[in-house]
Structure 1
Amino acid sequence: MSTCCQDMTSRLKAAKEQTQDLIVKTTKLQAENQRLEVKAQVANAFLSKFQLTSEEMSTLRGTREGPVTESFFKALGRVKQIHNDVKILLRTNQQTAGLEIMEQMALLQETSYERLYRWAQSECRTLTQESCDISPVLTQAMEALQDRPVLYKYTLDEFGTARRNAVVRGFIDALTRGGPGGTPRPIEMYSHDPLRYVGDMLAWLHQATASEKEHLETLLKLVTMQGVEENIQEVLGHITEGVCRPLKVRIEQVIVSEPGAVLLYKISNLLKFYHHTNSGIVGNNANTLLTTIEEMHVLSKKMFFNNLSLHASKLMDKIELPPPDLGPTAALNQTLTLLREVLASHDSSVVPLDARQADFVQVLSCALDPLLQMCTVSASNLGTADMATYMVNCLYMMKTTLALFEFTDKRLEMLQFQIEAHLDTLVNEQASYVLTRAGLSYMYNCIQQHKPEQGPLVNIPSMDGASLKAAMVQFDSYLASPDSLLMLQLNYLLSATLKEHIFKQSTELVCRAYSELYAAVMNPANEYKEPGAILHRSPQQVKTLLS
C-alpha cells in the first residue's frame, strides 16, 4: 500500500507539473477573450454611432426618381448627426478615421440633397391644378433643403412657376368659361357693366392671391431660416405677375371707353380699395400686381378729373341766362346731380379715410369752382336785387347738396359767407323798397345828409310838416299791412327760411329809419310846430306793429 500511495503521489505530481502550463495558457486566453469582447463592443458602438445601417443607406440612395418618404428624412437627419458628431474624433488620436467618416458623410449628404431636390422639383411641377394640395412630405423637403440655400431657392422658383401657370390659366378660364358647370358665369359676360366687370376680376384675383399665400405658408411652415416672409412675398409676386397683362388690357379698355364721370370715380375707388387690400396680403414691397392696380387707379382717376374738367369747360363755353323765376339753371342742376352721385359713391366707398378726404378736396375744387364762376358770369347783367336773388338760390342749392356729405365743412362755410353777403344786399333792397313805397325814402335821405349848419330841417323843400303828414298816411297803410310791400324777387327765393330772415332784417332797418326820422322831427332845433301831431306814433309803437 505504501508503494501504491507513493506511486500515485509521484504520478499526481508529474500530472500537476504537466497541467500547470496549460492552466497558465488557459488563463491568458480567457483574459485575451475578454479584451477582444470589449473591443468588439467598442467597435459595434463606434459603428452604430458613426455608420449608417444598410436600410438607411438603401433609403438614402434609393432610385433617382423613386418616392421620398418619412424614413428618408430620418436617415438624412442621421447623416447630419454623424457629420456633427464625427468632429469629436478629430480632437482625439482617431483623426484619420474621423476624416474618412466626415468625407463619407459629406458625400452621402450631397447625394441625398441632390436626390431630394430632384424629387421636390418633380413634385412642384405637378402642382398646376387650380386647387393645390401641398403634401406633408414636400413641406418636410423644404425644411431639409433650407440647409442648401441654392437648391431651396431653385425649388421655390419651380413651385412659383407651376403656380403662376395655374393662376393664369384659372384667370383666363374665369374670364371666358366660368366656374365648373358654368357657375359662376364667365366674367366676360358682364363686360357691358363696367363696375361689375372690373370688380369681379379684382375680386377673383384677390381670392387667388390669398389662396396662393396660404399654399406658400403651408409649403414653408417648417422652414426656420431668416427671410421666409420675404421669400413668400417674392414668390407671390412672381405667381401673380402672370395675370397682370390680361388684367391691365381689360381695365384699360373699360376706362378708355369713357363710361362717364360717376362710373370712372367708382372704378377708381374700387381699384384703390383692392390695392389697399392686396397690399395687406403681398406686402408693400415691389409687386407687379400692386403696380398694375395702382397704374389703373391713376389712369381712372385722371380720366375722371378730365371728364369733370371737360364738363366744367362746357359750362363756361355756353353760359345760360338766369330763368325768369331767378332759380338755378338747367346746367347748374345737371352739374349738382352729377356731383351728388359722385359724392354718394365716394361716401359709400371702402377706401381708407385719409385717402377719401384727399380725393374729396380735389373733387369739390374741380366741380364747385367752375359752377360758382358760371353763376357769377350768368348773373352779371341782372339788376342788384335780381342778381342777389339768383345768386342766393344757386348758392343755396350747392349748399343743400354738399350738406349731405362728410368732409364738406370748409366748403359749406365758404358758401354760407357768400349767401350772407347776398342776403345783406336783399335786406337793404327790401328796406329801400318799403321806405320808397311808404313815402319815407326822400325824407330819410334828407335826414342822413343834413348838417346843423344848413339850418333847421323844416326849411328844406318837401320836409315841411304838411309833407311829413302826407307821407305818414302812406306809412300808416304800410303798417296796417306790412306783407303788401314785398319785393317780387323775394317770392322767387327757394328757401322760406331765408325769405323770413330778409323780411325780419329789412323790417328792423325800416324801424331804425323811422326812429331817426322821429328823433329829427322831435328835435327843437329843426323847428317843427306840434311835432306830436305830425308823427303820432312813437318808434316803439311802430316796432310793435311790425313785429
Structure 2
Amino acid sequence: MITSTEDAQNEDRIQRRVNKILETRLETDKDTLDALSNLSNFFVENTLQNRRNLRSEIERRTVGINESFLQAFREVKNTLDTVCEDLDAMAKSVQTMKCNLESSKALTHDLISQTNSLQTEREHLQVDQQIAEAFLARFQLTVPEHQILYGTTKDAQIVPEFFTVLNRVQSIHADCRVLMQCGYQTAALEIMEEMTLHQEGAFERLYRWTQNHCRNLENNEIGSLVVEAMSRLQDRPVLFKYVVDEYAIVRRAVLVRLFIEALTEGGANGSLKPIELHAHDPKRYIGDMFAWLHQAIPNEKENLSLLLKKCDKNDLSEQTQTALAYIADGVCHPLKVRVETILTSEKDTIVLFAISNLLRFYQQIIKQVVKGGTLEQTLIDLQKSSEEIYLNSLSNQVRSILQRPASASLGIEPPQRDLIPPMSVGRLLNMLKEILSVATMVDGRQTDITKIVSCVIDPLLQSVQESASHLPTIDMAVYLLNCLYHMQSSLAVYEYMDERVERLQAQSDAQIDTLISEQASSLVANLNLGPIYTILQNNQTKIEANLLKIFMNKMDAFLEMPEMLLLPQVQLLMSSAHRNTVRKRAFNVIVAIYKQIYDRVHDPANGFENPDSVFSKTPDQVGKILAV
C-alpha cells in the first residue's frame, strides 16, 4: 500500500517535471539558452559517443574550473597571510611607539607644564605690550613728530604740521591730569615734565621763527602761519610782547621810509607826484601830507589786526593801541618840521586859519584810529600852535589896519564930517567876513568864530571909541552908532554871534538914548518950551499967555514941517531904523509935554479962559501928525 502510494507520488512528480519541461518556452528562458549555447561548444559533432560522454565532460570541466578557483584562492590566501604578517609587525611597532610615547610623556610632563605656563605668560606679555604701545602712542611723541616740533636743522621753517604736534603736546599735558586721578601719579608727573619741556622748546622755536618773520614784513605779507603763531604765543605774554614790539619797530621804519618817499619821490613808477612839489601851496601841501597819513595809518591798523586776527581781542586792545601808536609816532619829526616851517613862513591870516582847521580836522580823524602816543600829542601841539599863530597874525593885521598913518599909536583915522565909519573899519569887517566864511564850514567853529570876532571887534571897538572921544556929544553918538551898526550888520548873519550882537546892540541903545536926549533938548529949545516946561516941573498953575502964544506959533510951524527941527547929525545916521527911533522917541517927548500943557490949560481949576482958542489941535491930533 505504501509502495503504491510512493509510486503514485513519483509518477506525479515525474508528471509535473514533464509538464514543466513541456510548458517551458525555451525562446524566452535566457539562462537555458545560455546553457545550451555553452553546451554547443563542447563537441564538434553530435554523436552518440559524445552524448554519452557529456556528463563526464561536464564534470571534468567543473573540476578544472574548481582547480583554477582553488589556485586563485591560494594566491589570495598567500597575499592575505603576508598582509597579516605586516599587520602584526605594525601592531608590534605601534605598541613599541605607544610604550615610547608613554615613556616620553612621563619624561616631558614638566616641560609641557612649563611650556603651557610660558605660553600663558606670553599671552599676558603680548597684552601688556599692546597696552604699553597704546600708552606710548597716546602719551609720547613719535620720532617724526619730534623732528617736526624741533626741526631737522637749526634754520628749519615752521610748517602747518608743527601746530598739530604742538596741539598734541598740550593735549598730552592735559590728559596727564586725568592719568594722575587714576592713580598713576609718578608716570603722569614724569610725562607732564617731559611735555612741559617740549612745550617750552616749541614756543622758543616758534618765537624765534615769528620774530625773524616779523623782521621781514616790509611788504605786508602776513601769512596764515604767522597769524596762527601769534595766537599760540599769546599764551606766553612776554614772548608775545617781544614779537609785537619787533613788528612795531619794523613797521615804524617802513612807515617813515614810505612817508619820506611820498614827500620826495612820489608814488611807484611815477603814478603820484612828490608831495613836496606843492610846497608853494601851503594848504594843499599840508593837506596832501595828512591825507597820505590818513590812508597809511589805517592800513597799518588793518595789518596789525590781521596779524592778531586769531588772538583774544579782549586782552589786546591796550597792547594793540600801544603798538599802533609806536608805529605812527615815527612820522612825527618829519611831519612836525614841515608843518612848523609852513606856519612860521606863511603870512596870510586866512591861509593860516585854513591850515589850523586842516590840522584840527585830521587830528580828530587820526585820533579815532590812533589813541595816545607821540603822534596824537604832536597833532594837538601843532593845532594849538597854528591857532596861536593865526590869531597873532590876525591881531597883527588888525593892528596894522588900525595904525594911524602919521602916528605910531594905535587908532583909526579921525571921523569925517559925514560921520560914517572910516575905511579901516570896512577893511577889517571885510577881512572878518572872509575869515568867518571859512570858519563856518569846519568843526569846532563856535570857538573859532568867537576867538576871531573877539580878536577883530574888541580892538576895533576900542579904536573907534578912542577916535570918537574927541567929538562933540551928538557927533560922537552918531559916529559910534554908524560904526556899531556896520559891525552889527556884518556879524548878524553868522551863527554863535547872538551874545556879541546883543552887546553891540546895548552899546547902540546907549548912544541912541544920548542922541534922543540931545534931539529932545533941541526941540524943546526951538519950540520955546523951556520956560513952560520949568513951570510944569515946579507944579505952577499959571502959565503966561505970551509964552503959550509963542509956543503955539512955533508948534504950528513945527507940525507943518517936523523935519526942519531935526538935528543935522540925525540925518547922517546910516540906519533908517536908528533915524526913525530917534525921531519917534524925541517927538514922543514933545507930544508928552504938549499933552501936559494941554491938560493944564484945559483944567478949570487953573482959570484959563477959552482954552480952545489957545490950542488948535488936541494931543492925539499932534501925535498923528508927528506919527508917534
TM-score normalised to the size of structure 2?
Answer: 0.77
Alignment CA distance shift 1:225-1:358 (3 Å): closer
Partner of 1:534: 614
For residue 624 of structure 2, what is the aligned residue in structure 1?
A: 544
In the aligned structure 2, how far is the partner of 1:219 from the partner of 1:299? 37
SS of 1:457 mapped into structure 2: coil
Q: Which residue of 508, 518, 522 corresponds with 1:419?
A: 508
- Aligned-pair CA distance for 1:220: 1.2
d(CA) in 2 for partners of 1:392, 1:206: 50
Query: Which of 368, 371, 379 is matched with 2:457 structurally?
Result: 368
The 5 Å alignment of 1:110-259 reads 110-129=200-219, 132-224=220-312, 227-259=315-347
Is 1:456–1:525's contact at 8 Å kept on the other side of the alignment?
Answer: no
Decide which moves more: 290-299 or 305-314: 305-314
Residues 74 and 162 of structure 1, relative CA distance in 2, 3 Å threshold: same
Counterparts of 1:452-531 in structure 2 under 5 Å? 452=540, 456-458=542-544, 464-465=545-546, 468-523=548-603, 528-531=608-611
> Runs of 5+ in structure 1 lacking a partner?
459-463
1:252 deviates by: 0.7
Moved more, 85-94 or 223-232: 85-94
**Which shifted more, 528-537 or 506-515?**
528-537
Q: Which protein has greater RCO, CA pairs closer than 8 Å, 6+ apart?
A: 1
Percent identity at matched positions?
Answer: 40
Q: Deviations over 1:73-102 (max 9, x none)?
A: 111221222233335556677555445434
Contact 1:457 1:526 in 2 (8 A): no
Unaligned runs of 5+ in 2: 1-83, 403-408
Contact 2:548 2:614 in 1 (8 A): yes
1:13 CA drift (Å) = 6.7
| Shift in Å, 1:363 | 3.5
What SS does the corresponding residue of 1:155 show, helix, strand or coil?
helix
Q: 1:505 to 1:170 in 2, by over 3 A?
A: same
Residue 461 of structure 1 is matched in structure 2 by none
Does the 8 Å contact 1:469/1:535 carry over to 2?
no
Change (3 A) 1:331 1:537: same
The residue matched to 1:209 in structure 2 has which SS?
helix
Q: Please point out which of 131, 134, 137 is paired with 1:42.
A: 131
1:334 equivalent in structure 2: 427
1:272 maps to which residue? 360
Q: Is the 8 A contact 1:61 1:112 kept in 2?
A: yes
Following superposition, the deviation at residue 71 of structure 1 comes to 0.9
Instruction: Give the equivalent residue in structure 1 for 2:6.
Output: none
The code of the aligned residue for 1:499 comes to R
Match of 1:297 in 2: 383
Query: Shift of the alpha carbon at 1:244?
Result: 0.6
Is 1:75 the counterpart of 2:159? The answer is no
Pair 1:135–1:381, CA change in 2 (3 A): same
Look up the SS of the partner of 2:172 in the other structure.
helix
Contact 1:194 1:259 in 2 (8 A): no
Paired AA for residue 532 in structure 1: D
Q: Which moved more, 1:174-183 or 1:441-450?
A: 441-450
> Partners in 2 of 1:430 and 1:192 — Cα distance?
59
Change (3 A) 1:69 1:259: farther
Q: CA deviation at 1:434?
A: 4.0
Give 2:196's match in structure 1, choosing from 106, 125, 128.
106
Judge conservation of contact 2:286–2:339 (CA < 8 Å) in 1.
Answer: yes
CA contact (8 A) 2:207 2:239 kept: yes
Q: Give, in angstroms, the shift of residue 160 of structure 1.
A: 0.9
Q: Is the 8 A contact 2:528 2:550 kept in 1?
A: no
Distance 1:211 1:444, change over 3 A: farther
| Matching of residue 58 in structure 1 with residue 151 in structure 2 | no
1:452-511: CA deviations, max 9, x gaps? 3xx7321xxxxx33x533443332233233344443323322222332233322222221
Equivalent residue letter for 2:495: E
CA contact (8 A) 2:180 2:188 kept: yes
2:460 and 2:147 mapped to 1: Cα distance?
85
Q: Which amino acid aligns with 1:308?
A: L
Aligned AA for 2:414?
L
Deviations 1:38-93 (A, max 9, x none): 21221111111111123222212223323222111111221222233335556677
Instruction: Tell me the equivalent position of 1:261.
Output: 349
Cα–Cα, structure 1 residues 96 and 382, in superposed 2: closer, same or farther, change >3 Å?
A: same
Q: Cα distance 1:543–1:94, how it changes in 2: closer, same or farther (>3 A)?
A: closer
Measured after TM superposition, the shift of residue 255 of structure 1 is: 1.1
Query: How many residues are treated as equivalent by the alignment?
Result: 529
Picking from 474, 478, 488, the partner of 1:399 is 488
User: TM-score, normalization: structure 1?
Assistant: 0.87
| Amino acid in the other structure paired with 2:207 | Y
Q: What is the match of residue 386 of structure 1?
A: 475
Alpha-carbon distance change, 195 to 444 in structure 1, aligned in 2, over 3 angstroms: farther
Q: Determine if contact 2:411/2:467 at 8 Å carries over to the other structure.
A: no
Amino acid at match of 2:348: G
1: CA distance, partners of 2:266 / 2:432:
37
> Does the aligned pair in 1 maintain the 2:559–2:625 contact within 8 Å?
yes
Counterpart AA for 1:324: R
2:413 counterpart of 1:320: yes
Please say which structure displays the higher CA radius of gyration.
Answer: 2
Rounded to whole Å, the distance in 2 between the matches of 1:89 and 1:199 is 66
Do the aligned residues in 1 keep the contact of 2:214 with 2:246 (CA within 8 Å)?
Answer: yes
SS at structure 2 position matched to 1:537? coil
CA contact (8 A) 1:327 1:492 kept: yes
The 1-side partners of 2:528 and 2:185 are apart by 127
Decide whether the 8 Å contact of 1:79 with 1:105 is kept in 2: yes
- For the Cα contact (< 8 Å) 1:191–1:197, is it kept in 2? yes
Q: 1:154 to 1:9 in 2, by over 3 A?
A: closer
Alignment partners' CA distance in 1, 2:471 and 2:454: 27
- Please give the alpha-carbon distance, in whole angstroms, between the structure 2 residues aligned to 1:183 and 1:435: 83
Q: Which residue of 2 aligns with 1:347?
A: 440
